[in-house]
Amino acid sequence: MQGVVKSSNTSKLVSAMTLTKLGLTHVPQRYVLPSSQRPNLDHIVHSSTSLPIIDLSNLQNPSLRSHTLDEIQMACKEVGFFQVINHGIPLSVMNDALDATTEFFNLPMEEKMVYLSDNVHELIRYGTSLNHVRDECYFWRDFIKHYSHPISDWIHLWPSNPPTYKEKMGSYAKVVQVLQKQLMKVLLEILGLNPNYLQNEIEKGSQVLVANCYPECPEPDITLGMPPHSDYGSITILLQSSPGLQVMDYNKNWLSVPVVEGALIVQLGDQMEVMSNGKYKSAMHRATVNSHKKRLSIASLHSLALEKKIGPAENLLDKEHPASYKEFSFKDYLDYISNNYILKGERFIDTLKKNP
């Protein structure tokens, strides 16, 4: 029912966790995707060339730096995706954040329902699928998302149960924010911009943490955990507990992202595609589910501040290279998704293209 905003806390919610506990042998009809949109799990493609693993410590080594920058640049142009290792974030901080996520989703339903909302503008939001009120077709996913930077502005809104949630997620949020700033400098440099371009806006930008839970699913080949989409922001830094993320390469093949211990996934978002005037691609990705193991992921979505508009960088434009995109803000994106339905196959970024 598009356009109808229900008072969310009165809506009943059947989470993916609840369905898994019921031990169903089939997914409910609402989760069954049209056959053209189902994942082909018999045909898992791994490609190390399209999904590079970048050793960030090589950027400190004068003899390896330029080759590493070339690798990152190639990844940004083709798919908008790479993984990073030696990024400076301790494995223990990453594992603690995943533990806090596990414990949160293991809480009794009543405790999670406190945060239930279908309003995408909410500051903290628990839910299932993408939007439990609007979605016609459901996805096998539960989530909690909240703003995270600067942490002192938001942490009081975060769950106080499990008791270690704030500390563990908080530690992770802070170090990921630092990594994000380092990565942005590198991405701006290889775009040919001043690495300090938009420095203040990036410093004061928004960070939204999304903890996703994809419990065991009886029919993983006819449903998805998340439909194909690109993220709205500049970059997303993602941590996954087990395989399930797939990225679309330039030939429109879905590639499965391998889990590399200690690695973090970097995906470019729509703000980066727009800012680079199309030189970089925002990564199209989706989450598959499986029947044997619950999967968790934590996405840290970085963008400029909520109302800050971003357009193609002036220095990349001239007579031969006019702006290909209109400017937009994170808030424009939220307004868009509160009125449009993602499964119709529309992408927000396509609405920004001047000559689609």
Q: Which is nearer to ligand OGA, 144 or 193 (CB)?
A: 144
**Distance (Å, rounded) from C-alpha 33 to C-alpha 137?**
7
As a whole number of angstroms, the distance between CA 32 and CA 15 comes to: 16
Question: Least distance in Å: CB of 246 to ligand OGA?
Answer: 9
Selection from Ni ion, ligand OGA, none that 284 binds (CB < 5 to 8 A by kind) is: none
Rounded least distance, CB 184 to ligand OGA, Å: 18
> Rounded to whole angstroms, how far apart are CA atoms 199 and 268?
18
At closest approach, how far in Å is the CB of 114 from ligand OGA? 21
Integer CA distances (angstroms), 238 to 62, 235, 259, in order: 28, 10, 11
Q: Which is nearer to Ni ion, 20 or 240 (CB)?
A: 240
The residue ranges that bind ligand OGA (CB under 6 A) are: 210, 212, 226, 231, 240, 244-245, 285, 287, 297, 299
The two three-digit tokens of residue 81, written as one number: 């995706």
Cβ nearer to Ni ion, comparing 39 with 218: 39
- Is residue 228 within a helix (H) or strand (E), and if so which, with residue range? strand 226-229
Is the bond into 356 cis (omega within 30 degrees of 0)?
no
Separation of alpha carbons 69 and 192, rounded Å:
12
The least CB distance from residue 253 to ligand OGA, in Å, is: 18
Using CB distances below 5 to 8 A depending on partner kind, what does residue 240 bind out of Ni ion, ligand OGA, none? ligand OGA
Residue 273 near residue 325 (C-beta atoms within 8 A)? yes
Least distance between ligand OGA and beta carbon 59 (Å): 26
Q: How far is the CB of 71 from ligand OGA (least distance, A)?
A: 23
Name 226's bridge partners. 287
Sign of the C-alpha dihedral computed for residues 250, 251, 253 and 259 taken in this order: negative
Closest CA to 48 of 256, 269, 230, 282: 256
Residue number, 112 or 285, with CB nearest to ligand OGA = 285
> Closest residue (Cβ) to ligand OGA?
297
Q: Which residues bind Ni ion (CB under 5 A)?
A: 231
Q: Which is nearer to Ni ion, 118 or 231 (CB)?
A: 231
Which residues, at least 6 apart from 324, have a Cβ–Cβ distance to it below 8 Å? 277, 278, 312, 353, 354, 355
Phi, psi at 331, each rounded to 5°: -65, -40
Q: Minimum Å distance from CB 270 to Ni ion?
A: 11
- As a whole number of angstroms, the distance between CA 283 and CA 173 comes to 22
Q: Which is nearer to Ni ion, 166 or 285 (CB)?
A: 285
Which CB, 285 or 308, lies closer to ligand OGA? 285
297 contact, one of ligand OGA, Ni ion, none, CB 5-8 Å limit per kind: ligand OGA
Q: Closest-CB residue for Ni ion?
A: 231
